[in-house]
Chain A
């Protein structure tokens, strides 16, 4: 869902995906600690990464979602344009035990989106910039060491869309205490990105102030988890990020109060070329009763763009039966504006940096929704696969709907599903 890029489907990438599918489907999987959104290393925010030797089964997850948003603060038109956008995202995750201590994971997915906002880059409706497809593939390898308490992992992947190409490498280390009540995990990732600069059509003959077309991101993720009692456990995490390079979106317009909003008077958004982020999260889970559990999360965020944010989430799974769970959830987010943000016509031409992207504005947001999970002990069903007649198990189904609303007027709906299968 690269909401800021443009044009068409990369057919070569789609063909590659189709060619890879059978091979990936052939391989095997276990539970999926890898970060689904594009990092091959185990998810270090999950304490107790699954023991690679625990699962002789292949696990395959098919995930998909449909996202729709609307609003009238689009940055492509300087903070007053449409934000209408839809996004469809099929994803396949595989986890393959290679031996008793090693696990290979693969994460392959597509983002197909259509955007009325990016359609305004060239001021012609239904132009090629109205839709795009992103493809991403990430591979990870995790190995449990001889002490049975330490897991190390490496990963690599790429993401490609019309105007954005990204490669990443990652490494992780996690170690549990002897009694399994504490765990520390550390993961690092490096992203090397290449941007194809596409500017608003009327500005393409003016000097480009952004300079450079690359972006490097360095992430360090540290998680410490602790069992507090038989019913309560906590995790504290931080994810330090340093970015440098092109952090502006070249087709975002900014209109200035001195020059007005006439056609051709805008400039391309300009942001500093370095950004440091410091989020800290606290997660607390409480097994209140056999019927209800409480899952709480709080995050404090700060960065050198001047944004300070608080995020709070609460989810209350209700076990209707031991295998059927309903889980309502609520999330509240509030943030201050970046130092470089101002609305339409509010910037001065003397400003060093400027953006009218409401993602960087001062706002609050509420999200709520409902999920359901059905996971009977012996699975939902079984079927024979084309692979040597092996019988696969449809293990579990998870469906979730969320409604999101910002104080900027942006609203969004998202429905997603996760189908879990295993192969012997």
Chain B
């Protein structure tokens, strides 16, 4: 199983951004969190995404670590 090139590039970019962020990790005061408090900065799936997460947990043998079902409560994998 190999990732296609575009996925590798995107994943690399994600890790690079994370790495650069870690190197600049600072204590951010509450009054400096105007960007972090933005609705689109929440570190979780949106509520509306639950249906997609659910059907993916049925149609794909792999799941979990994203707020969706991973076993139990249904006939899914």
Contact = CB atoms under 8 A, between A and B. Distances in A.
Contact of B10 (A5, A314, A327): A314
9 contacts: A1-B54, A37-B68, A63-B48, A181-B28, A235-B44, A279-B65, A307-B61, A365-B60, A398-B46
B59 A284 contact: no
B22 A303 contact: no
A166 B18 contact: no
A333 B60 contact: yes
Nearest to B48: A418
Interface in B1-55: 1-4, 7, 10-11, 13-14, 17-18, 21-22, 24-30, 32-33, 35-36, 38-55
A2 interface: yes
A210 interface: no
A179 B14 contact: no
Contacts, number: 273
Interface in A327-356: 327, 332-336, 338
A166 B17 contact: no
Given A335-B61, A367-B52, A418-B48, A360 B66 contact: no
A20 B40 CA distance: 33
Given A67-B55, A398-B46, A418-B48, A285 B10 contact: no
A238 B65 contact: yes
Interface of B: 1-4, 7, 10-11, 13-14, 17-18, 21-22, 24-30, 32-33, 35-36, 38-56, 58-77
Given A1-B58, A37-B50, A303-B62, A229 B74 contact: no
B32 A230 contact: yes
A191 B41 contact: no
Interface of A: 1-5, 32, 35-38, 43, 45-47, 61, 63, 65, 67, 69, 87, 89, 93, 134, 136, 159, 164, 166, 168, 179-181, 189-191, 193, 195, 215-217, 219, 221, 225-235, 237-239, 241, 243, 249, 275, 277, 279-287, 293-299, 301, 303, 305, 307-312, 314, 317, 325, 327, 332-336, 338, 359-362, 364-365, 367, 371, 373, 375, 398-400, 402, 404, 406, 410, 412, 414, 416-418
Nearest to A64: B51
Contacts of A416: 48, 51-52
B65 A243 contact: no
Contacts of B25: 226, 228-229
B77 to A, nearest CB: 6
Interface centre among B47, B58, B73, B76 (most CB of A within 10 A): B73
Contacts of A293: 38, 40-41
Given A37-B69, A230-B36, A241 B64 contact: yes
Closest CB pairs A-B (n = 9): A191-B72, A217-B72, A309-B62, A281-B65, A46-B44, A228-B21, A279-B64, A279-B65, A4-B75
Contacts of B63: 277, 279, 301
B1 to A, nearest CB: 5
A294 B41 CA distance: 8
**Central interface residue in A36, A293, A294, by most chain B CB within 10 Å:** A36
A406 B59 contact: yes
Contacts of B32: 230
A216 B73 CA distance: 9
A351 to B, nearest CB: 18
B73 A191 contact: yes
Given A35-B67, A295-B40, A297-B66, A335 B48 contact: no
B7 to A, nearest CB: 5
Nearest to B6: A332
Contacts of B52: 367, 400, 402, 404, 414, 416
A287 B66 contact: no
Contact of A327 (B4, B18, B40, B47): B40
Contacts of B40: 285, 293, 295, 317, 325, 327
A65 B51 CA distance: 7
B73 A375 contact: no
Which has the most chain A C-beta neighbours within 10 Å: B7, B42, B45, B62? B62
B10 A230 contact: no
Contact of B3 (A36, A225, A310, A338): A310
Contacts of A275: 71
A47 B44 contact: yes
B35 A230 contact: yes
A296 B14 contact: yes
A233 B41 contact: yes
